[in-house]
Structure 1
Amino acid sequence: MDRFVLQQITQELRTTLSGMRITNLSHVDQNTVQLGFSGGLSAILSIDPNLPRLYQTTATLEATGKRTPFTSKLEHALLGATLTEISMQETDRIVEFLGERVNKIGVVHRFRLVFEIMGRMCNLLLVDPKEHQIIDCLKRSERGGRRQFPGEPYQFPSPPSGISIAGLERDQLQTELEQRPTQTIRSALMQAVQEFYPQLVDEILYQAQVDKARRVEALTVRQWSQVMEATMAFINRIHSGQFEPTIMVDAHDKLIALSAFPLHHVGEVARSFPTMNAAAETFYQTTQAQFMEAELRRQLQHIIEKNIQKLEGLKHQLEIDLKQAENAAEFRLKGELITANLHRLKPGLKTVRLPNYYEHPPVELEIELDPTISPQKNADRYFRKYRKARDGREIIAARRIEIKKSLQEWNQFRNELEQAIHLSDLQVLEAKLKRGGEIRPKDERRRRKSKKSLEEVIRPHQYTTSEGWTVLVGRNNTENDVLTLHIARKNDIWLHAQGVPGSHVVLRRDGRREISPKALEEAAAIAAFHSRAKHSEHVPVIYTERRYVRKPRGAAPGQVTCSQEKSIFVKPKRPTVGANRD
C-alpha cells in the first residue's frame, strides 16, 4: 500500500468514522484486526507482510485468530470509546487513531492506536497517549534502532532521505538529480524525492518515454526535459488532489496493482472507483482470495505428491522383495542338500559343492555357508529363508494390489487438482482428503504440538542485569513449571526465596563457565522481590543448577524439590534494568 493510496484512505476514514463509537473488535487472524463501529461500518488493519492493508468495509470477516494479551488490551482500551481523530504522518506511512471514553464515574480514558504500514516493518501498537510508552503491540521486534516492546517509549522511524514534494520546484529537483550522476534515473528519482515509490517512478519514466535503466549522466537534453515535465506533472497532480482510485488489471483479468493514479506501465486495463476505500476493499478481498487459493493449491499439491512418491517407493521395494520371494524353491533345495550331506560337512566352511539329486544326471550346486555356525544351523537358515519367501509371496501379492489401488486414487486426486480452477474446487478436494483421513484436522495437529505451543505461548518476565546476564521470572505456578522444566537449560542457575512462596527465577548461563557474583546477587534480589518476603529487609535465597531441580510425581503446579543448593542473603529489589517483557 503506497503513500498516496494510504493518504486517500485516511482522509475518507476521517470523514466516515470520526465521532463513531467502537462497538466490537475481532482478531481476524494473527496479523489482522477488524474494528467495528456504530452504524455498521468497520475498518480492517492488517500487518500481513505479504499484504499489509487498511480500508473500510461493511463486511464482517471470519475470525480465525486466537485471543491474545494484545487483543485483550485493545478491547479494554477501545471498546465503547469514540474515535475522535484519524491522522497520517507527513513523513511516512503511519496512521494514528485517537479516541476517548468516559466511565461510569465520569473519568475520561483516552487511547492512541498507531498503525505502521511499511512493508515488512508493519506493526500495530497501542500507545499510552500521555506517557508515549508502548502498552502492547501486535508484533514485538527490534529493528532500525527501534525497540517495540511493552514499556518501551514509542519512537517514530527516522524520516526518509531526500526532499519532500511540498513546495518542490523544477530547478530544485533537477539539481538534486544531478548530484547522483552515476545512478540510474529510476534510482535517483526514488532517492531524491521522499514520497516517490517504485511503481510511481516507473510510471513517470513510462510517460516520459525514458529508459529507467539509463544513468543520470547519460541523459540527453531532450530526455532531461521529458523527465522533468512528466515528474512535475505528477507532482502538480498530487498538489491539486487529482487522484483517481484505480485497480490495474492484466489481459487475463488478474489484479496487478492498487493505485491513486492509473499505472499504464503495469497493466492493460484501469478500473476506476468512486472512492479509494471501495477500490481497496475490492483489491484486497480479491487478492487475499487469490493468495488463499494459491496457498491451498500448494498445500494439496505437497500432500498429493508426497503420497504418490511414497507409494512409488513402496511399489519399487515390493518388486525387489518379489524377486527374492521367487527364490523360495532355491532356498529349500539348498537346505535339503545340506541336510542330506551333514556327514560330509565340517564346521568352518564358507562354501561347499554338493550334488543336486533332483537333476538327472546329478549336477553339483555351489552353496554359500556361514563359517561361524554349524552345518545343521546353516541348513536351518536356508529353511527359514524358504518359509519367509514362501509366505512373503502371498503378502507381497496382496500389498501390490493395495498399492496399485492407492496409486490410482492419488493419481485421480492429482488430476482433480490439475483441473481445479476456482477456490471452491480446491476446497471440495480438501474436504475429500479430510474425509479419507489423508489430512489430519487442525485440532489433532495442535494436540500433537501442544507441548511446543505451551512453551511458545507462556513467556515469563525477562530482565537484564547490569552486566548483561539474562534473568527469567515465572509469573504464576503454571509458568513456574514451564520455566523450570522446559525453558531453563540444565546448567542455568535456578533461584527461589527460601521458605516462602515465590516465583521461580532462572539466571541464564548462555555458555559462560563461571557465574558472576554480581549477576548472581542481582538475580537473587529479583527472586526475593518476586516472593512473599518482598517487604523484608534481608531474604535468604537458595540457588542451584537447574539439573538438580526435580518435580515429584503428583506434585501441584509450581512445586519442586532441589539438591546441592546454596543460599545467599539479599535485599529485595525491584528490577529496573532491561525489562523487556510484560
Structure 2
Amino acid sequence: MHNNYYFLRVLASNLRQKLMYARLKQCFSQEKDELVLGFERQNGEEFWMKCCLGPQFSCLQFPDNFHRAGRNSVDLFSDVLLAEVQEVEMYENERAFSLHFLGDFVLLFKMYGNRANIILFRDGEFQSLFQSRLKKDAEISLANIHRPLNQSWEAFQANDGNYSALFPTFGKEIKSHLLSLGYENALLKPRWEILQTLKADLENPTLFVYHREDGVFLSLLKSEAEVLYVGHDPLEALNALYKYHYSIGEFLKEKTQLLAFFQRAQEKTRLYLQDLLNQGSKRGASVPYEEIANIIMAHLHLIPANVNAVELPDFYRDNTIKVKLNASLSASQNAENYYRKSKNYAKELAHWQEQVDRKREEIKLWEERWEQVNQATNRKQLKAFIPLLTKDTSQKAVEEIPFKVFDVQGWTVWVGRNAKNNDLLTMKYTKRHDVWLHARDVAGSHVVIRNPQQKVVPKQVIEEAAGLAAHFSKRQHESLCPVIISSKKYIRKTKDLLAGQVIVDREEVILVPPARID
C-alpha cells in the first residue's frame, strides 16, 4: 500500500512539515530508474529523497545522507535548482502529490505502481519528465488531476451500497479487509458504518511493514503476517520497506525464480534423456544393418526390380523379415547401402552413449544447483546463479528475433527459417566471432552460435548446434549428416548468388545425427 492514496496523503502531510521553504540544492540520477533530490532546510539541515521508479518496484526512500558518485551521474530538472518549496499538494483521490516551487515550478510525483514518474511543469505547462519511456505522461494536465467525488450517505444509497464508485482508491488490500469484516453480508446502514470506521482509521493510521510468503509490503491495516516495522512516521516506514524489500523480498523472489528455473531444467533434461533411452531400446530391438545386408546378398535372386520392400527368409532368426528398399537401386546396391549404414552404426552408437552420459551429468548438475539455492539464506549466496536466471530468456527478447531460437547449454543458437531469412541471419545479425553451421551439399537452414564474448565454444555445444543444422536440412531423416562449421569472418556473399547462398572460405566438417526436436 506504499503507493496507495491513503498512505500518500499521510506522506504528503509529513513532507509539508519537512520541506516548506526548503531549497532544492541537488537533483540528479546515477542509477537507472533512480532520481535523487537533495534539499537544504531553513535550519541548515539536509533532507534527501531517493525516488526509485522502476517498472518492477517503485518506492520513495529518505536516507539521512547521500554521497553523489564522481562519475556516471547526470543533473536533471536543472531549471528548478535553488528554488524554494512553497507548498506540498496532495491530489484528491489520486496516487499523486506535488512540490510547488517559487517561480511557478511544480514537480509532480505520479506514484502509479510500475508506471511511476516525476514530471516538471511551469505555469501549468509540461516541461520535462524523468521516465522518458512513459511518453503519455507529457499529456498530463495539472488542472485535471484532482478527482473530487461525492462520498456522502446519499451517494452511497444511490449506488446501493457499492463502495467502488465512491472510493475507487481503496485498492485490493482494503477491499480484502472489508470482506473480512463481513461487509458483503451486511445491510446498507451497517455497511456505511463499517466504511466510516475504516475511513477514520485511515486518517491517522498505524503503519506496518509485513513479511509474507509473496514478499515484503507496507500496510495501513493489521494483519497476521510477520511484522518487520510498526510506527506512525511515513518516512521511517518507507525506509523500512525499502530496506526489507531488497534484503528479504528480493532475496525470496530471486530464490523462488531460481528454484523454479532449475526444476524446469531438470525436467527438460530428464525428458531428453528418456527420449535417448527409448531410442536405444528401439535400436537394440531392431535387426542390425549388417545382417539385413547379408540377407539381401543371400537372396538376390528373390528380389524383383523397382520395389520399395520385400519379404525374405531370415536365416539368423529362422523366420521371415520385411526389408525396406530403395526402388531406384538394384538389390546389390541396396545391400551396399545397408553395409554403409552398418559402418556408421558404431559411430552413431558411440555418439548416442556420449549424449546419454552428458544428459545424466546435466541432471546431476541441475540437482546440485537446486540444492545449493534451496539452502541459501541471503542474496550473496545467490549471486553466482543470477546470470543463469537472466539467460532463462526474456520471452519478449526471443520474440523480437526473426529466427528460431534455441538454448544449447546456456549458449544462444539462431536458426534461419527460409532462404531470405538465412541471408538476414548470416549477413546482418551474425558477428565476426559467431560460429556458423550448415548441412553440407544440401539445402538447409543457416545455424549460428552467438559468441559476443569471443570465448572458445565447447565441442559439445558445437555438436548439438550441428545436430540442429542437420535437422533443418534435406538430410534430416538420415542417420548421420556431414555439417560445415566455420566462423562468420570466413563467410561472404557476392551479388550473383541466390538468396541463402554464401561462399565459405574456410571450413571444418563433422558427422552428427540430426537433432530430435519435439
Q: TM-score range by the shorter chain?
A: 0.5 to 0.7
What TM-score do the two structures reach when normalised by structure 2?
0.61
Task: Give the drift of 1:122.
Answer: 3.6
Decide whether aligned partners of structure 1 residues 123 and 289 sit closer, same or farther in structure 2, where only a CA change above 3 A counts. Answer: same
Q: Secondary structure at the match of 2:26?
A: strand
Query: Number of paired residues?
Result: 391
Single out whichever of 334-343 and 376-385 deviates more from structure 2. Answer: 334-343
Aligned counterpart, 1:160: 147
Decide whether aligned partners of structure 1 residues 248 and 294 sit closer, same or farther in structure 2, where only a CA change above 3 A counts. Answer: closer
Decide whether aligned partners of structure 1 residues 378 and 17 sit closer, same or farther in structure 2, where only a CA change above 3 A counts. Answer: same
Aligned counterpart, 2:154: 175
Aligned counterpart, 2:490: none
- Rounded to whole Å, the distance in 2 between the matches of 1:48 and 1:56 is 17
2:118 to 121, 124, 130: 124
CA contact (8 A) 1:141 1:148 kept: yes
Deviation track 1:167-188 (CA, whole Å, cap 9, x = no partner) reads xxxxxx433322233x3xxx33
RMSD, aligned α-carbons:
4.4
Letter in 2 for 1:285: K
Q: Secondary structure at the match of 1:213?
A: helix
Q: Secondary structure at the match of 1:81?
A: coil
Deviation track 1:106-165 (CA, whole Å, cap 9, x = no partner) reads xxx7743211224466432122x13613433525658xxxx533xx5734445435336x
1:411 matched to 2:367: yes
CA contact (8 A) 2:27 2:35 kept: no
Aligned counterpart, 2:89: 88
Task: Give the drift of 1:412.
Answer: 1.5
- Rounded to whole Å, the distance in 2 between the matches of 1:114 and 1:162 is 21
CA contact (8 A) 1:14 1:85 kept: no
- Rounded to whole Å, the distance in 1 between the matches of 2:147 and 2:169 is 9
Task: Give the drift of 1:378.
Answer: 0.8
Aligned counterpart, 1:478: none
- Rounded to whole Å, the distance in 2 between the matches of 1:340 and 1:276 is 93
Task: Give the drift of 1:395.
Answer: 2.3
Decide whether aligned partners of structure 1 residues 321 and 275 sit closer, same or farther in structure 2, where only a CA change above 3 A counts. Answer: same
CA contact (8 A) 2:53 2:117 kept: yes
1:25 to 18, 25, 28: 28
Q: Secondary structure at the match of 2:337?
A: helix
Aligned counterpart, 2:288: 330
Structure 1: state its 5+ residue gaps.
101-108, 165-172, 453-484, 487-552, 554-582
- Rounded to whole Å, the distance in 2 between the matches of 1:323 and 1:387 is 20
Task: Give the drift of 1:393.
Answer: 2.0
1:287 matched to 2:245: yes
- Rounded to whole Å, the distance in 1 between the matches of 2:251 and 2:68 is 17
Report matched runs for 1:94-493 at 5 Å.
Answer: 94-99=96-101, 111-119=105-113, 122-127=116-121, 129-130=122-123, 132-138=125-131, 147-149=136-138, 152=139, 154-157=141-144, 159-160=146-147, 162-163=149-150, 173-181=152-160, 183=161, 187-188=162-163, 191-192=165-166, 199=173, 211-214=182-185, 218-219=187-188, 223=190, 227-228=192-193, 243-247=204-208, 249=210, 255-259=216-220, 263-264=221-222, 271-273=229-231, 275-326=233-284, 330-342=288-300, 345-355=303-313, 365-430=321-386
Aligned counterpart, 1:557: none
Aligned counterpart, 1:14: 16
Q: Secondary structure at the match of 1:148?
A: helix
Q: Secondary structure at the match of 2:250?
A: helix
Letter in 2 for 1:257: L
Q: Secondary structure at the match of 1:371?
A: coil
Decide whether aligned partners of structure 1 residues 54 and 370 sit closer, same or farther in structure 2, where only a CA change above 3 A counts. Answer: same
Deviation track 1:376-423 (CA, whole Å, cap 9, x = no partner) reads 221012112212222222222232222211211111112233333433
Report matched runs for 1:68-79 at 5 Å.
Answer: 74-78=76-80
Decide whether aligned partners of structure 1 residues 56 and 380 sit closer, same or farther in structure 2, where only a CA change above 3 A counts. Answer: same
For the pair shown, which has the larger CA radius of gyration, 1 or 2?
Answer: 1
CA contact (8 A) 1:161 1:191 kept: no
1:44 matched to 2:50: yes
Decide whether aligned partners of structure 1 residues 88 and 335 sit closer, same or farther in structure 2, where only a CA change above 3 A counts. Answer: same
Q: Could you tell me the percent identity over the aligned residues?
A: 14
Decide whether aligned partners of structure 1 residues 61 and 199 sit closer, same or farther in structure 2, where only a CA change above 3 A counts. Answer: farther
Aligned counterpart, 1:467: none
Task: Give the drift of 1:88.
Answer: 1.8
Decide whether aligned partners of structure 1 residues 341 and 61 sit closer, same or farther in structure 2, where only a CA change above 3 A counts. Answer: farther
- Rounded to whole Å, the distance in 2 between the matches of 1:266 and 1:212 is 20
CA contact (8 A) 2:77 2:128 kept: no
Decide whether aligned partners of structure 1 residues 245 and 51 sit closer, same or farther in structure 2, where only a CA change above 3 A counts. Answer: farther
Decide whether aligned partners of structure 1 residues 330 and 404 sit closer, same or farther in structure 2, where only a CA change above 3 A counts. Answer: same
- Rounded to whole Å, the distance in 2 between the matches of 1:155 and 1:246 is 30
Task: Give the drift of 1:4.
Answer: 3.7
Decide whether aligned partners of structure 1 residues 17 and 343 sit closer, same or farther in structure 2, where only a CA change above 3 A counts. Answer: same
What TM-score do the two structures reach when normalised by structure 1?
0.55
Task: Give the drift of 1:256.
Answer: 4.5
Q: Secondary structure at the match of 1:313?
A: helix
Structure 2: state its 5+ residue gaps.
402-427, 430-493, 495-518
Task: Give the drift of 1:43.
Answer: 0.7
Letter in 1 for 2:370: R
Aligned counterpart, 1:506: none
Task: Give the drift of 1:306.
Answer: 4.1
Deviation track 1:512-566 (CA, whole Å, cap 9, x = no partner) reads xxxxxxxxxxxxxxxxxxxxxxxxxxxxxxxxxxxxxxxxx9xxxxxxxxxxxxx
